[in-house]
Chains A and B, each alone.
Chain A
Amino acid sequence: MSDSDGKGRLTVLKTYKLYVGGKFPRSESGRVYEVTDAKSRWLANAPRSSRKDARDAVVAARKAFGGWSGATAYNRGQVLYRIAEMLEGRADQFVREVADAEGLSRAKAAAVVEASIDRLVWYAGWTDKIAQVVGGANPVAGPYFNLSSPEPTGVVAVLAPQQSSLLGLVSVVAPVVATGNTAVVVASETRPLPALSLSEVLATSDVPGGVVNVLSGRTAEIAAPLAAHQDVNGIDLTGAGGDAALAKDLEVAAADNLKRVLRPSGQGGPAADDWTQDPGTRRMTAFLETKTVWHPTGALGVSGGSY
């Protein structure tokens, strides 16, 4: 982070904040931690979220769930597309932040940002298709019309990948919210700034407050209360992938209310975390329930003979 813009003017630094319920609070704990670039140079002080921040975020996500899950799939698609539009417009900022966070050249960071935008567009298109792909009528042996439809699981805690600070982040958050869930996202512990900046994109993209909530801090400290929270319905453990003991502890805690658990890659989860590959549908179906509704079809009696 340079102190000046090269023309002698002192730059205005940004205070990075959490994103909870559509607002940008500091951690209620008042704590921050130092975030550095790939060469250990100071970038910013990020909020170090507490258990209370995690609980507040769950409350916000629950409050937003009814409206978001009840929105039309078309509407959710438009909102996701709007995120892509906003990100495109602020691409330069993200190229800089991703380059700093991940130690990438500007060209490589630009490719990451472009892929992130494209991933959002991809999921924007999924919102009104997934129900047809994974749902449908079942040909039951009786006079019933029987339809299976996917529905969002509810509030999902998402431990974002530790390495891929923007593309990985978008790749785990977009499928969760595209399908109508609301999310409490724990940003990469050492590379949280792109996530915190993405919050500003979300806030200006017609995403209702509380649909995505972003927390920064120590992953283990924030993830533990989320995994144990009785009003969280699912948890994506991707960000705990580097710590098998932590992932296991979180899965044990998640069993208390039978959260849907997406295990880290290579540990029962996806084969690998290659965020440049076609994501498939797995990250969407991991947090979808199937509801099957039976209706009697009745009978028209002998008039059926008029076929």
Chain B
Amino acid sequence: MASPNTAPGTGTGSASGHPDNAPGHAGSPFAYAPAPESRSVVDIAPSYGLFVDGEFTEAAGGKVFKTVAPATEEVLSEVAQAGEEDVDRAVRAARKAFEKWSALPGSARAKYLFRIARIIQERSRELAVLETLDNGKPIKETRDFDVPQAAAHFFYHAGWADKLAHAGLGPDPRPLGVAAQVIPWNFPLLMLAWKIAPALATGNTVVLKPAETTPLSALFFADVCRQAGLPKGVVNILTGDGSTGAALVSHPDVDKVAFTGSTEVGKAIARQVAGTRKKVTLELGGKGANIVFDDAPIDQAVEGIVTGIFFNQGQVCCAGSRLLVQESVADELIDALKRRLTTLRLGDPLDKNTDIGAINSAQQLAKIRELTGIGEAEGAERWSPECELPSSGYWFAPTLFTGVAQAHTVAQEEIFGPVLSVLTFRTPDEAVAKANNTPYGLSAGVWTEKGSRILAVADRLRAGVVWANTFNKFDPTSPFGGYKESGYGREGGRHGLEAYLDV
């Protein structure tokens, strides 16, 4: 199994296992036999309520909505749509729980978090299948990345709970109070862990709203909290749409807002909290540049490029969605990349051999189609490997745009899909200038064998995370977050604690 911080979906290491002559599409003598993971390990109820003050209850307004499996459009369950009244009830429950939770010795809070980490590990297969069903991402990603990383986040932060005075954030760091947390659909359980683990470790209580299209793993997490014996009201889960999230972050009794999602919504939140005492962290969009110099090991770079943009169907805020390749090796690299893309296996996310799963929603698929349509209309050259898409569900073939200029929409806007825009450069200065030429600043990659060039280029990239000769690596100990319009604040590591503390 890959080390837990390795994005495995299309990661390095898996590549050498399937040679170029083993394309995934049917008809090849080397086609893989189906290897589906069993669904029987997970039991999804026909409906779920809101998890408030330790109990599942219906929404006050009685409204519900359906959540579907993006790979098949099958309805998985019906969940409650929380309204303002429910938000208020949840915030009050969290406020009430805060008094005792924050007064617990750190060592006791730590033990709850260790319990949660262990229960996630114990239930990892169930959670992986659930996440794959509700999100559409390949089982090998949920199994080897999302769920182990979620457990690791709780394990890491558990250890901080009784050591906060030693974190270098001042002698007496104090919790803020009630944290309102709104998370996206691309890594539902993992984003929940990124939010809840540091909040609880630092003594806050939370009201978390999972994304509209991926509510189930958060609801299962509520059950994990019950098994762990977590006091009532410490974690509250409200399902709903954007209006629920807006009501939550604007609730006057919330002390902290943590949001991961689009830059547009992030800006709206920043405006909304202006003039309040609410502390805010925002983890927003990106248009990461993956820079390949002429001395880079081409085969490794190709694997890194594939990991960078096709991991999780490219629905990753820090995706390497812009490939900047030095002109002298551009043809060679693009040929190798295209060869590699023909070997990616797109299809049933529950199949253990699947590299590319489904797009999360019809809405997201429409957005990817629209932006790629604009890419073609603006004159970039579009290419996809021969790729049969399933007849039902939301699917998009891996796509390359070559001949992309900096002004093109596909070089500027976040597509959040399996779409790579290829640009070229001649000098390191030009590469850096192009890499920095977006309003975003979340991630970047550098591929070169020359150590001093790695350091010089990394130094000048205005991005919160830089991967040198690798891409899309994550770890609970490693702070993550953006420059510029990719948001502010960091999540993970010692740095991430500050977002939940009055120091």
Contact = CB atoms under 8 A, between A and B. Distances in A.
B478 A146 contact: yes
Contact of B464 (A139, A142, A247, A290): A290
A142 B487 contact: no
Contacts of A139: 477
B470 interface: yes
A29 interface: no
Interface string A234-254: 000000000010011101101
B393 interface: no
B485 A292 contact: no
A268 B470 contact: no
A133 interface: yes
Interface in B426-448: 439
A242 to B, nearest CB: 14
Given A142-B6, A248-B275, A255-B267, A296 B469 contact: yes
B153 to A, nearest CB: 12
A249 B485 CA distance: 19
B3 A148 contact: no
Given A140-B5, A248-B275, A258 B282 contact: yes
A74 interface: no
B16 interface: no
A127 interface: no
A247 B275 contact: yes
A75 to B, nearest CB: 16
Interface string B139-182: 00000000000001000000000000000101000000000000
Contacts of B25: none
B267 to A, nearest CB: 5
B493 interface: yes
A251 B272 CA distance: 10
A6 interface: no
B481 interface: yes
Contact of B481 (A142, A290, A294, A296): A290
Interface residues of B, number: 50
B170 A280 contact: yes
B199 interface: no
Nearest to B466: A293
Contact of B270 (A255, A267, A290, A291): A255
Contacts of B274: 248-249, 251-252, 254-255
B477 A295 contact: no
A179 interface: no
B469 A295 contact: yes
A289 B503 CA distance: 18
A258 B466 contact: no
B479 A148 contact: yes
Contact of A138 (B170, B478, B484, B485): B478
B483 interface: yes
B271 interface: yes
A11 interface: no
> Chain A CB within 10 Å — which of B463, B473, B480 has the most?
B473
A105 interface: no
Nearest to A248: B275
B6 A258 contact: no
A49 interface: no
Interface in A195-243: 233
Nearest to B441: A289
B478 A244 contact: no
A250 to B, nearest CB: 8
Contacts of A42: none
Interface in B258-291: 263, 266-267, 270-271, 274-279, 282, 284
Nearest to B156: A141
Contacts of B498: 285
B267 A289 contact: no
Given A289-B464, A291-B466, A142 B3 contact: yes
B385 interface: no
A257 B464 contact: no
A92 interface: no
A257 B274 CA distance: 14
18 contacts: A138-B477, A143-B3, A146-B478, A148-B478, A153-B483, A244-B275, A248-B275, A252-B271, A252-B275, A255-B271, A258-B282, A258-B485, A258-B488, A260-B488, A291-B461, A294-B465, A295-B469, A296-B470
Given A255-B270, A294-B466, 11 more contacts: A140-B478, A141-B3, A141-B152, A144-B473, A252-B274, A255-B267, A290-B481, A291-B458, A293-B468, A294-B468, A294-B478
